[in-house]
């Protein structure tokens, strides 16, 4: 417990602290630019203000995702979502992102899952949207029966994640690319892992479409009272 708490505090002080320091320095940069007021300086001012806005938004998202992460498992509720409801939500997200996709659900539409599976599916689809930056992005989602559980498979044709980083990317606030290149809090896989492990299950990474890209695989139980955020 102490080790996990210390690690959590370190992550906050490091990643969130970087954004906070940038926010405290940027206004001074703006003042210095205004002291040298001329047309070229206005361009710099606008650039700094944009940078400030981006850092503020990034910091807000980090804190919101950290709050979600910290609350998972703290409140017990008997909430479920049906396969039909879950598939509808995923289709809406994929249509919004504009990717070519195949979504195949091999379980009955009335099959119920723990409600927090919505949080996982949203996080995984959002990750694909952020990190699969090719113009012909493809996504495959398959849902099938495995004994008393249901197996979920999310695959894409993006750049994937090197095998040596598969464990690391499940850690909170971890990104493999600079946040100035890809906006994100680095919490999507950490949230997904914590939710799945509350069911006594595991989440794993593997190959994506046609052996490339990334695949994310996990199972969840049906109709179970679980912890929700």
List, for residues 88-141, the tens digit of each pLDDT value.
Answer: 999 999 999 888 999 999 998 788 888 889 999 999 999 888 877 777 889 999
Q: What is the pLDDT of residue 215?
A: 95
Average pLDDT score over residue span 156-166: 88
Give CATH for domain 76-228. Answer: 3.30.565.10
Residue 81 β-bridge partners = 113
- Provide the CB-side half-sphere exposure for 201 (13 A, CA): 22
Nearest Cα to Cα of residue 154 among 119, 102, 194, 198: 102
Residue 112 contacts residue 183 (beta carbons within 8 Å): no
Q: How much is the pTM?
A: 0.75
Long-range contact pairs involving 166-174 (C-beta distance under 8 Å, separation at least 24): 166/205, 169/205, 170/203, 172/8, 172/11, 172/66, 172/69, 173/11, 173/15, 173/62, 173/66
Please tell me the predicted confidence (pLDDT) of residue 139. 95
- Please spell the DSSP secondary structure of the chain, one letter per residue: -HHHHHHHHHHIIIIIHHHHHHHHHHHHHHHHHHHT-SHHHHHHHHHHHHHHHHHHHHHHHHHHHHHHHHHTTSEEE--EEEHHHHHHHHHHHHHHHT-EEEEEE-S-TT-EEETTHHHHHHHHHHHHHHH--STT-EEEEEEEEETTEEEEEEEE-S----GGGTTGGGSTT--SS-TTTS---S-HHHHHHHHHHHTT--EEEE--GGG-S-EEEEEEESS--EEE-
Instruction: Express as a percent the part of the chain with pLDDT over 70.
Output: 78
């Amino acid at each position: 417990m102490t080790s996990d708490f210390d690690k959590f505090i370190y992550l906050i002080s490091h990643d969130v602290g970087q954004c906070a320091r940038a926010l405290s320095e940027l206004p001074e940069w703006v003042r210095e630019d205004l002291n040298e007021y001329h047309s070229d300086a206005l361009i710099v001012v606008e650039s700094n203000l944009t940078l400030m806005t981006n850092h503020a938004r990034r910091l807000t998202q980090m804190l919101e995702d950290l709050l979600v992460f910290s609350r998972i498992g703290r409140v017990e509720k008997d909430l479920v979502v049906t396969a039909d409801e879950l598939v509808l939500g995923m289709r809406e997200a994929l249509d919004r992102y504009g990717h070519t996709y195949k979504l195949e659900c091999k379980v009955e539409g009335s099959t119920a899952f723990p409600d927090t599976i919505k949080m996982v599916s949203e996080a995984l689809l959002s990750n694909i949207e952020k990190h699969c930056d090719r113009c012909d992005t493809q996504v495959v989602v398959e849902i099938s029966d495995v004994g008393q559980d249901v197996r979920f498979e999310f695959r894409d044709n993006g750049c994937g994640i090197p095998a040596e980083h598969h464990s690391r990317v499940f850690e909170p606030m971890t990104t493999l690319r600079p946040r100035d290149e890809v906006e994100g809090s680095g919490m999507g896989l950490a949230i997904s892992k914590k939710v799945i492990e509350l069911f006594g299950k595991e989440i794993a990474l593997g190959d994506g479409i046609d052996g490339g890209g990334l695949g994310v695989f996990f199972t969840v139980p049906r109709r179970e009272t679980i912890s929700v955020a």
